[in-house]
Amino acid sequence: MSHLSRTTVAVDRSVVASDPRSLPLGSKSLSPLQTVLQYQIDRVEHQVSDDRAQTGVFLIGPLERGQATTLGNSLRRVLMGGLEGSAVTAVRIAGVNHEYATVPGIREDVLDILLNCKQLSVNSRSQELEIGRLVASGPAQVKAKDLQFSSQVQVVDGDRPIATVHEGHNIELEVHVERGVGYRPVDRTSEDIGAIDLLQIDAVFMPVLRVNFTIDETAVAEGGSTRERLRMEIVTDGSITPDDALAEAANQLIELFQPLATVTMVEEEPVEPEPSAEAQIPLEELNLSVRAYNCLKRAQVNSVSDLMGFSYEDLLEIKNFGSKSADEVIEALERIGISIPQSRTSA
């Protein structure tokens, strides 16, 4: 089936000069010369396949040059890896304790059954673990719709086969369903040894199977600039519609960028380190000669902390302060465990 729907999105960027209260918090006033940005979102195709997968094709535009690429890449990245979904994470088969076993009277081996369960499309509305169970006697073709879940779980494609049971045999199956994001491989190092018959499965929580987009140039806008139109195809596993997937991806991007719209940079004052007890010793307690003491005083040196900003070369540049006085200061500082560099470059 195919449907056409249309949504028009208008962003007025010219009203803010007269009424700054209409701006989002933290935004700045815009020039009255800025115009209204308006584009349409058309769903030109919507199909549901035999396995209940859904395909939606959307046209978004007209957009300024470069905006179609920005939207397409951002939405595709979130659609493919950022949406929450449901998946089968573990299977328990009566009488089976490892994935390489076979079940008497069952056409498929355990690996095939696990793969069939992994490919089930389910939609769980619960954040907790949900368990589905089935018991079937042969001859029977066991399908996904035979699993008995709580009302919180919907099996999207009930006709997907799980196993084939021959006459005179039966199968007892338990399937675990969880919600998550992205891909979660089995961590075999942390498996519960007590549940040796619970076979873990690499879980694929991604409800979107495929996203493609192309960019077309549209009519030339005022001023001669070329507009673009984004054509986006979204294919889901049926647990979510392409419309809802697109909306969820857009909302995630809004939440990602919203803090940037209100960001305020505050410069922190550098914290000065607490001076040591030795640095607070007054110059008089160093017992320097009168000549060295007077020269340092004239250079506004009143304590050891002032001296710590000097090198040996700096001391020699003090008026009437020779190498003998500089050596005297060095020796006095060394007596209290303080040393100063020989030159400015080594400081």
Q: Report the CATH number that the domain containing residue 299 is assigned in CATH.
A: 1.10.150.20
DSSP 8-state secondary structure symbol assigned to residue 21? G
- Say how many domains are in the chain: 3
- Residue 268 within a domain: no
Q: Is the peptide bond before 139 cis (omega within 30 degrees of 0)?
A: yes
Query: 289 and 314 in contact (C-beta within 8 Å)?
Result: no
pLDDT of residue 17: 35
Is residue 340 a contact partner of residue 307, using CB atoms and an 8 Å limit?
yes
Does residue 64 belong to any structural domain of this protein? yes
| pLDDT tens for the 347 residues of the chain, in order | 555 555 544 444 433 333 433 334 333 444 443 444 578 899 999 999 998 999 999 999 888 888 999 999 999 999 999 999 999 999 999 989 888 988 999 999 999 999 999 999 999 999 999 999 999 998 999 999 999 999 999 999 999 999 999 999 999 999 999 999 999 998 766 655 446 789 999 999 999 999 999 998 876 555 566 889 999 999 999 999 999 999 999 999 999 999 888 877 777 777 766 667 666 777 777 778 888 888 888 888 877 787 777 888 888 888 777 788 888 888 887 877 778 787 766 55
136 is in which domain, residue-wise?
85-204
**Rounded-to-integer distance, Cα 117 and Cα 175, Å:** 8
Per-residue confidence (pLDDT) for residue 288, from 0 to 100: 80
3-state helix, strand, coil in the chain (%, to 5): 30, 30, 40
Q: In this structure, are residues 229 and 63 in contact, taking their beta carbons and an 8 Å threshold?
A: yes
Q: Considering the domain boundaries, does residue 146 fall inside one?
A: yes
Check which CATH number belongs to the domain holding 167 and give it.
2.170.120.12
Q: Which residue has the tokens 């069939």?
A: 116
Report d(CA 331, CA 76) in Å as an integer.
70
Give the CA distances from residue 44 to residues 41, 209, 228, 229, 295, in Å, rounded to whole numbers and listed in that order.
Answer: 9, 19, 17, 13, 89
Q: What is the pTM of this model?
A: 0.67
| Cα angle 115-120-123, degrees, rounded to a multiple of 5 | 150
CATH number at residue 19: 3.30.1360.10
pLDDT for the residue numbered 146: 94
Q: Is residue 343 domain-resident?
A: no
Whether the CB-CB separation of 63 and 72 falls below 8 Å is answered with no
3-class secondary-structure state, position 249: helix
The per-residue pLDDT for 4 is 55
Alpha-carbon distance 326 to 332, whole Å?
10
DSSP string, 77-98: HHHHHTSEEEEEEEEEETT--S
- In terms of domains, do 130 and 167 share one? yes
Return the pLDDT at 330: 82
Residue found by looking up tokens 């940005």 in the block:
37
Closest of 11, 250, 239, 202 to residue 88, by C-alpha:
202
